Structure 1
Amino acid sequence: MRSAVIALLVFVAFSRSDFLLPFPLSEKFINFTAQLEKPTNNDTSCNLAQLNYCQYSFNQNFGLNSSVSYSNGSRIFETVQNYLNSNVTQLSKICRARTNFYHCLGHTYYTCMNLHTRLESNNTDSSNGFDYVRTFRGLEWICGGGYQETINQWNNFDDIPTSTPYRNCVNTFNQTISTVHFCSSVQQTGNCLNTVYSNSTGDASAGHYGCENFRYTFANACPGLKCTIGK
């Protein structure tokens, strides 16, 4: 019985879909990304009281207690990831929560989700700030332009983030990224993931999905990047 339980846990661990793409980024490049995102008009207004209220409301959908705030980005990322990985029926619930969060913040949403703004006002480390921002940027894609593809390819996406081709893309990104060629490295990694998702599913639209899912995290830092279908 015990061996059967262990086998089941191993199976679950290696069959995670991870729709919020898992990849590491060093503190150096998180801070560099934040500098690239620095608002040019100096509009960094984000009402923290309002953000805390909106985050509290968002948390209620996922069993997170009231003490979890924007400074606990890694915990929020992992919690949302686990809900996404559970089953496709959770997707609509998660997307409703994301939409309500967006409307709760109103016109300050994009300022509050700016990495530079978050790190400037955050009382936490850069990793938590980065995970917080990429959680909601990932949901922007998954619940927006990528919503139908997420549903259509739910089962086909299962093994991709744990596959060797996916890891090769991410490893190359971390090995070649620099402040000089930062955005070109993001573009190349998006292209790499485009190929991985396309080859894994046999569907060019899935390739576009994989590329966009990565690009959205860096859309403010590298606004000129594009993902194409059939790259």
Structure 2
Amino acid sequence: MLILLPPSEGKTPAPAGPPVDLASLSFPCLEVARKEVMEALAEVSGRPDALAALGVGASLAHDVERNRRLHAEPAAPAHQVYSGVLYEALGYGSLTPAQRARAEEAVVVVSALWGAVGFGDAVPAYRLSMSVSLDGIGRLAAFWKPRLAEALAERAAGEIVVDARSSTYAAAYAPPRAATVTVDVLTERDGRRTVVSHFAKHHRGEFARHLLTRRGAEPATPEDLLAVAREKWNAELREGTARRPHSLALILEG
């Protein structure tokens, strides 16, 4: 099983420790590309128009300043640095040792800066969205797409892929459609269903946690994944096509 997550917008800087070692990160074939993005990010983060170029407000100026020295910033495991709503719901800190090992094996975070990292990879906090275009790099989703297709090909082969990414990060990597299931969250009230947007991250995090903590065999097919979802949610599966993956809907009462 492979669980694809987006990074959180907010990140928790490591209080101390050694800096990132690019050679030690998962998917080492991405090392050169990671260096290119780090250098381009450091350059744009030092410009007078850095906030506008990165699409952030003045309240995040400190985060943008940190981008200029990522090679020296303390690094921590990705499951600590990424600390937004989805990651709070996943709750790595409260997993058992066996469940943590399972998470570090199964979870891959698709990142605008790193391309893709494992859950246990040590990285510094940074500020960069996949929707940004960097000088010399271009739009990051387009930059990473061929590189991630190559880097993740072996990891995704023969696995059920649970895709809990947002559309911004899904644009950077398309796993094999026949074995991929995206996770949607809907509310149902009086027979009418609507897409959940604001709280979808929370429920995707809860679903990822269920996959990591439940007993029994891991799901191997989209139908298996539907059965796992129905252990805790009202859920439906829409079969994929040659052009789109399967879609699992977690249906909440409105």
Greater per-residue strand proportion: 2
Greater per-residue helix proportion: 1
TM-score bracket relative to the smaller structure: 0.3 to 0.5
TM value normalised by structure 1: 0.33
TM value normalised by structure 2: 0.31
